[in-house]
């Protein structure tokens, strides 16, 4: 049995308040369970409550032992790290996987920086837990007990990885944050326009988008960045590194995904707005189940 629980589904910045009670205001954090194994995706603000849950429910059965996959180093995916309670327990064993930048900057560097003296009272070296950092790019890792993870580079303003978790023939894929590749050389009115560059740009975008849809082919649960509507995206959000609802739905259909989870909600999106979008886009296709992520939601395959 493979499951995912949503501890934070918001993008960019935490957005608490009476307008976001239903879907939640915490940023990216997922808890996956493959029977006995614990996997976490991202250290968004949602990880604080996950940490408290682990202490209340798991610790009595043994030390906290987790594989944690960081998608990328933007604040909304890291900022909850120093408030993750298992860090303060010496028996905790946390293996932290994440992308390494071309210039050598790693997740460990980011976490050290954010917990250095001017920013936080407990430094990275002072946490009691045993921390192991594993720098990755595109790879497949056997996590033991039949659980594997495969990582895939995404299209975002910083090196970002999507993750595919597979267990007993079931698949959960997390793709956040990501923008579909598009041809940047198709503006025929541009003084530097070149038909050759236009053709090549189109080819590259198609090839990379195909690679991504292959990455989540026939997935059971696809957790997908859907920060904007297509109209918002086209109006002012192009090149911001995110996907529209329409594009996420289209990609999920192409790949044969069974369930698409709309994720990384835009911070100003109220519960009412998310409900309206949920109703509108759930009707868009009958074959694919479209679910809007909300805090506390658990999906099992």
Contacting positions for Zn ion (CB under 5 A): 11, 74, 76, 177
If the CB atoms of residues 155 and 251 are measured against Zn ion, the closer one turns out to be: 155
If the CB atoms of residues 11 and 86 are measured against Zn ion, the closer one turns out to be: 11
Q: Strand pairing of 29-34 and 2-8?
A: antiparallel
If the CB atoms of residues 2 and 14 are measured against Zn ion, the closer one turns out to be: 14
If the CB atoms of residues 5 and 74 are measured against Zn ion, the closer one turns out to be: 74
**Shortest distance in whole angstroms from residue 73 CB to Zn ion:** 8
| Strands, sheet with 140-144, edge to edge from the N-terminal-most edge strand | 140-144, 147-153, 161-167, 170-175, 221-225, 259-263, 289-292
The sign of the CA dihedral 254, 74, 157, 153 is negative
**Shortest distance in whole angstroms from residue 194 CB to Zn ion:** 31
If the CB atoms of residues 11 and 180 are measured against Zn ion, the closer one turns out to be: 11
Coil vs helix vs strand at 211 = helix
If the CB atoms of residues 11 and 82 are measured against Zn ion, the closer one turns out to be: 11
The sign of the CA dihedral 186, 188, 193, 195 is positive
**Shortest distance in whole angstroms from residue 233 CB to Zn ion:** 15
**Shortest distance in whole angstroms from residue 147 CB to Zn ion:** 25
**Shortest distance in whole angstroms from residue 256 CB to Zn ion:** 26
Q: Which residue is nearest to Zn ion (CB)?
A: 74
Contact 262, 276 (CB under 8 A): no
If the CB atoms of residues 92 and 244 are measured against Zn ion, the closer one turns out to be: 244
**Shortest distance in whole angstroms from residue 24 CB to Zn ion:** 15
**Shortest distance in whole angstroms from residue 89 CB to Zn ion:** 28
Closest CA to 158 of 95, 107, 209: 107
Long-range contacts of 229-232 (CB under 8 A, 24+ apart): 229/277, 232/266
Q: How many CB atoms lie under 10 A from the CB of residue 246?
A: 17
């Amino acid at each position: 049995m493979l499951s995912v629980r949503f501890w934070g589904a918001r993008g960019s910045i935490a957005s608490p308040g009476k307008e976001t009670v239903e879907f939640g205001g915490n940023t990216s954090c997922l808890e996956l369970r493959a029977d006995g194994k614990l996997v976490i995706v991202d250290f968004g603000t949602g990880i604080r409550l996950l940490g408290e849950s682990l202490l209340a429910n798991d610790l009595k059965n043994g030390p906290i032992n987790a594989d944690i996959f960081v998608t990328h180093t933007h604040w909304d995916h890291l900022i909850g790290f120093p408030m993750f309670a298992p860090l303060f327990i010496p028996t905790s064993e946390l293996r932290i996987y994440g992308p390494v930048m071309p210039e050598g900057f790693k997740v460990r560097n980011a976490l050290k920086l954010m917990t250095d003296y001017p920013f936080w009272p407990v430094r990275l070296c002072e946490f009691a837990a045993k921390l192991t950092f594993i720098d990755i790019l595109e790879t497949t890792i056997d996590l033991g007990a039949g659980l594997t993870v495969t990582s895939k580079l995404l299209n975002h303003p910083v090196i970002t990885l999507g993750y595919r978790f597979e267990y007993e023939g079931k698949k959960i894929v997390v793709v956040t944050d990501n923008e579909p590749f598009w041809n940047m050389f198709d503006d025929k009115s541009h003084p530097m326009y070149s038909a050759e560059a236009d053709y090549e740009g189109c080819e590259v975008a198609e090839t990379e988008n195909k690679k991504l849809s292959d990455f989540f082919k026939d997935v059971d649960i696809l957790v997908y960045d859907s920060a904007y509507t297509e109209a918002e995206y086209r109006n002012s959000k192009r090149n911001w590194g995110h996907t529209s609802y329409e594009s996420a739905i289209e990609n999920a259909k192409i790949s044969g995904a069974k369930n698409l989870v709309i994720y990384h909600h835009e911070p100003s999106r109220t519960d009412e707005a998310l409900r309206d979008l949920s109703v509108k886009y759930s009707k868009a296709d009958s074959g694919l189940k479209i679910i809007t992520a909300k805090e506390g939601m658990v999906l099992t395959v």
